[in-house]
Amino acid sequence: MASIAATVLVWHCLSAADHNPIREDIDAFAWVIFIRLLPLIWVRYKLINVRKKNGEEKCLGVSCSEWKRWQVNWRNGHCHCG
Instruction: Give the three-class secondary structure for 64.
Output: coil
Per-residue pLDDT, 27: 73
Burial 33-49 (b: 16+ CB within 10 A, else e): ebeeeeeeeeeeeeeee
Per-residue pLDDT, 28: 78
**Can you give the pLDDT of all 82 residues of the chain as single tens digits?**
567 777 777 766 665 556 666 666 777 787 888 788 777 776 666 655 555 444 455 555 555 555 444 444 544 545 555 5
Per-residue pLDDT, 25: 73
Distance CA(8)–CA(77), nearest Å, equals 29
Residue boundaries of the structural domains of the chain: 4-81
Of 43, 60, 38, which Cα lies nearest the Cα of 51? 60
Per-residue pLDDT, 3: 72
Per-residue pLDDT, 15: 57
